[in-house]
């Protein structure tokens, strides 16, 4: 989830209960204010009636259809003694002149008319419909919330987009950064101290990473170059012992094993050196090369090598497929992925190579799927076949990453075939 949406959701989570609480408080505040005004009016009207009653003057007409109405009835003294004074309540009052009931605020009060008689006075005044008030408040709260939400999202978008520009600039820089291309400067055009510290930390990490990678590449390169001479000397010694001495059959078998292991070490040394050069960007200039031509050459040479195992190879090639790549690396790329298919195809199996629109697809027969999550790891071998260094497919991946190609592996259980696809 993006930072902007996470912050917006957090704001909404805080705003919803706040708006709900505000709506409840607003409703009770409005209701209390209305009741206070109504109570004051009822109190004044009740005082007017009580005063006229005590003075013997004419009382206002009962239920005259005006806003206020009242009723007076006598009560017993004991009931008057238990009176709690003025009591306010909300009721539904029937208005005969209108033939309907209306919500009203009612004041109930017991008083002495000055002649020793106790009377109960109930004064009623029409008031607001509480359900209507709730609906009105709910409507305006929802409207206000929607408006507030729109304003918050819009302002947040504008503020965050402006405030987080240094962060997005750093993310874009990190997306475009490729290890091994040398130390490059991290953009730090901001006056926000937190972003400046973040950019400085990224710069420090990149610098350390580049220095460690450079040392690693130097070590591998130096080690590979230093190993070439002793390996060549050992190889020459073994060939001399085979050609110029008279070893026994057992000794000859051991020398052959030593020679085989030596050749494997030489291939491993050259492969590591090539992998180091690819990952460090020490690649010769690229040119427009034809994938189809290289595929034909590789399939022809590998077909002769693996012919004794009865492996059949079919090709479905386009007329041409030109890509921009170093010629040697293209040959290594095609050779490794096709050789991998030949190497791991059982005797009597078949390999199919096809070249289409910007795609090289190599399939071969196989009984069980491979571990796609580890297939391109260095020194990982799915089988224990002799001569495998475990670096063929990692080199394929490194070349693809260097040129922004895409290599994928899948297994078709229906046809029991391994499928390697390179999209240029």
Residues 417, 364 contacting (CB under 8 angstroms): yes
Q: How far is CA 223 from the centre of its chain?
A: 43
* Cα angle 110-113-114, degrees, rounded to a multiple of 5: 130
**Which two tokens mark 366?**
């196989």
> What pLDDT is recorded for position 6?
77
Does pLDDT of 381 surpass 70? no
The predicted pLDDT at position 278 comes to 67
In CATH, which of 3.30.450, 1.10.8, 1.20.1440, 2.60.200 is domain 3-149?
Answer: 3.30.450
- pLDDT, mean of residues 81-94: 81
**CATH no. for 193-279:** 1.10.287.130
Mean pLDDT of 283-296: 82
Spatial distance between the Cα atoms of 337 and 345, rounded to a whole number of angstroms: 13
Distance, in Å, from the CA atom of 377 to the CA atom of 392, rounded to the nearest integer, reads 10
Q: What is the mean pLDDT of residues 125-148?
A: 77
Contact at 8 Å (CB) between 336 and 393? Answer: yes
Give CA–CA dist 358/180, Å, rounded: 27
| pLDDT, average across residues 414-422 | 89
Q: Which residue has the tokens 């919330």?
A: 145
Q: Any idea where the domains of the chain sit in the sequence?
A: 3-149, 193-279, 287-423
How far is the C-alpha of 136 from the C-alpha of 130, rounded, in Å? 10
pLDDT, tens digit (0-9, with 9 covering 90-100), for 317-327: 888 889 888 88
CATH of domain 287-423: 3.30.565.10
Summarised one tens digit per residue, pLDDT across range 222-265 is 766 677 777 777 878 878 787 778 778 888 888 888 877 777 67
Tokens of 219: 């070590």
The CA-to-CA distance between both ends of the chain, in Å, stands at 31
Q: Rounded to two decimals, what is the model's pTM?
A: 0.46
Judge whether residue 18 has pLDDT over 90.
no
The token pair at 122 is 């109930």
At 105, which helix (H) or strand (E)? strand 100-112
The reported pLDDT for the residue numbered 362 is: 92
DSSP reduced 3-state for 119: strand
CB 3 within 8 A of CB 160: yes
Q: Do residues 363 and 351 make contact, with C-beta atoms less than 8 angstroms apart?
A: yes
Where do runs of H (alpha helix) occur along 245-366? 249-279, 291-305, 327-343
CB 111 within 8 A of CB 118: yes
Q: What is the residue-averaged pLDDT of the chain?
A: 79
How far from 37 is each of 44, 49, 133, 134, 400, CA to CA, in Å?
Answer: 11, 19, 16, 19, 82
Q: Give me the pLDDT at residue 1, please.
A: 56
* Mean pLDDT of the 274-282 span: 64
Average pLDDT rounded to a whole number, residues 291-314 = 83
Are 3-149 and 287-423 equal in CATH topology? no
The three-point CA angle 18-19-25 to 5° equals: 90
- Structure confidence at residue 363 (pLDDT): 92
Q: Residue 1 gets which letter from DSSP?
A: -
Res 393 pLDDT > 90: no
Is the separation of the CB atoms in 111 and 119 below 8 Å?
yes
Strand order in the sheet with 100-112: 69-74, 118-126, 100-112, 87-95
Tally of CB atoms within 10 A around 302: 20
Q: Are 132 and 122 in contact (CB under 8 A)?
A: no
Q: How far is 15 from 153, CA to CA, in rounded Å?
A: 12
Residue 388 has pLDDT above 60, yes or no: no
CA angle 336, 337, 342 (to 5 degrees): 90
pLDDT of 276 above 70: no
Confidence at residue 360, expressed as pLDDT on a 0 to 100 scale: 92
Q: Alpha-carbon torsion 280, 339, 303, 321, what sign?
A: negative
Percent of the chain with pLDDT over 90: 2
Please, which pLDDT band fits residue 65 given cuts at 50, 70 and 90?
A: very low
Q: Is the pLDDT at 410 greater than 80, yes or no?
A: yes
**Best CA proximity match to 272, nearest among 315, 216, 323:** 216
Residues 325-370 pLDDT 10s: 888 788 888 888 888 888 888 888 889 999 988 899 999 988 888 7
Residue position matching structure tokens 């190599």: 362
For range 175-179, the mean pLDDT: 71
């Amino acid at each position: 989830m993006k930072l902007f949406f996470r912050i917006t959701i957090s704001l909404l989570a805080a705003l919803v209960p706040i708006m709900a609480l505000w709506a409840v408080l607003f409703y009770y505040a409005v209701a209390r204010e209305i009741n206070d005004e109504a109570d004051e009016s009822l109190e004044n009207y009740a005082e007017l009636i009580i005063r006229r009653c005590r003075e013997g003057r004419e009382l206002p007409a009962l239920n005259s259809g005006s806003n206020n109405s009242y009723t007076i009835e006598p009560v017993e003294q004991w009931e008057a003694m238990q009176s709690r004074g003025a009591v306010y309540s909300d009721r539904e009052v029937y208005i005969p002149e209108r033939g309907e009931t209306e919500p009203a605020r009612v004041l109930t009060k017991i008083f002495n008319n000055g002649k020793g008689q106790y009377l109960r006075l109930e004064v009623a005044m029409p008031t607001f419909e509480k359900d209507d008030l709730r609906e009105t408040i709910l409507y305006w709260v929802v409207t206000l919330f929607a408006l507030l939400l729109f304003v918050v999202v819009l302002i947040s978008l504008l503020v965050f987009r402006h405030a987080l520009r240094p962060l997005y600039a750093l993310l874009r820089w990190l997306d475009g950064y490729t290890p091994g291309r040398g130390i490059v400067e991290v953009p730090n055009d901001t006056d926000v101290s937190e972003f400046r510290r973040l950019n400085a930390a990224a710069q420090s990490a990149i610098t350390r990473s580049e220095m460690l990678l450079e040392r690693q590449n130097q070590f591998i390169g130096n080690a590979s170059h230093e190993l070439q001479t002793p390996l060549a000397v050992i190889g020459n010694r073994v060939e001399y012992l085979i050609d110029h001495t008279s070893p026994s059959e057992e000794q000859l078998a051991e020398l052959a094993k030593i020679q085989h292991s030596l050749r494997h070490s030489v291939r491993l040394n050259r492969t590591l050196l090539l992998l180091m050069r690819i990952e460090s960007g020490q690649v010769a200039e690229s040119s427009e090369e034809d994938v189809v031509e290289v595929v034909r050459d590789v399939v022809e040479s590998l077909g002769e090598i693996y012919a004794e195992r009865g492996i059949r190879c079919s090709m479905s090639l386009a007329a041409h497929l030109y890509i921009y790549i170093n010629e040697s690396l293209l040959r290594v790329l095609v050779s490794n992925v096709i050789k991998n298919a030949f190497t791991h195809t059982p005797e009597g199996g078949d390999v199919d190579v096809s070249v289409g629109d910007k795609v090289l697809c190599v399939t071969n027969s196989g009984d069980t799927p491979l571990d796609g999550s580890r297939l391109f790891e260095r020194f990982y071998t799915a089988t224990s076949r002799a001569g495998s260094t475990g670096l063929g497919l990692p080199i394929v991946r490194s070349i693809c990453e260097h040129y922004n190609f895409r290599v994928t592996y899948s297994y078709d259980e229906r046809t029991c075939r391994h499928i390697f696809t390179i999209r240029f």
